[in-house]
Amino acid sequence: MLAGRVIDASGAPIGGARVEVGVIRPDPVDEDDPAGGFHAYRSAVAAPDGTFRVTRVPPTRMTVIASDAAGGSSDPIVLPGNPAGSLEVPDDPPPVTIVVRREGDEH
């Protein structure tokens, strides 16, 4: 499970933000390859205080992105997952704070 909070650049919570966990695929090389870009596997919606929980996060390297109804989005955050070749079941990733940037926010 991945837990955390979605906020804006000022630190205010963003309730209702969509949090997606998935992978960023490269552009296709062959015609049978899947489309490039972000592909979400799991998602959740942030509570009014910005907190969220995404359950059943795969133990592999994943990317987390959040977006709000006003069209703002976060930078991708990479979850490392299990070390390559490890057969151990990983612990849940630590909680994350996702900052959604809106038009006009300074970076």
Report the chain's C-alpha Rg in angstroms: 15
Residue 90 lies in a domain: no
In a domain, 33, yes or no: yes
Sign of CA dihedral 69, 42, 87, 91: positive
Q: Please report, for the domain that includes residue 67, its CATH number.
A: 2.60.40.1120
Q: CA 45, 103, 107: angle at the middle one, nearest 5? A: 95
Q: Is the dihedral of CA 56, 58, 19, 38 positive or negative?
A: negative
pTM of the model: 0.81
**For 62-85, what is each residue's pLDDT tens digit?**
899 999 988 899 999 998 876 655
38: containing domain: 2-83+96-101
* Range with top average pLDDT, 37-41, 54-58, 97-101, 102-106: 97-101
Q: Is residue 14 part of a domain?
A: yes
The count of domains in the chain is 1
Tell which residue, 67, 68, 94, has the closest CA to residue 3.
94
The answer to whether position 25 is within a domain reads yes
3-state secondary structure of 34: coil
Share of the chain above pLDDT 90, in %: 50
CB 31 within 8 A of CB 64: no
Read off the tokens for 64: 């987390």
Q: Do β-strands 96-101 and 51-54 pair in parallel, antiparallel, or remain unpaired?
A: unpaired
Would residue 91 count as lying in a domain? no
Per-residue model confidence as pLDDT tens digits over 10-44? 999 999 999 999 987 777 777 777 676 777 889 99
Residue 57 belongs to some domain of the structure:
yes
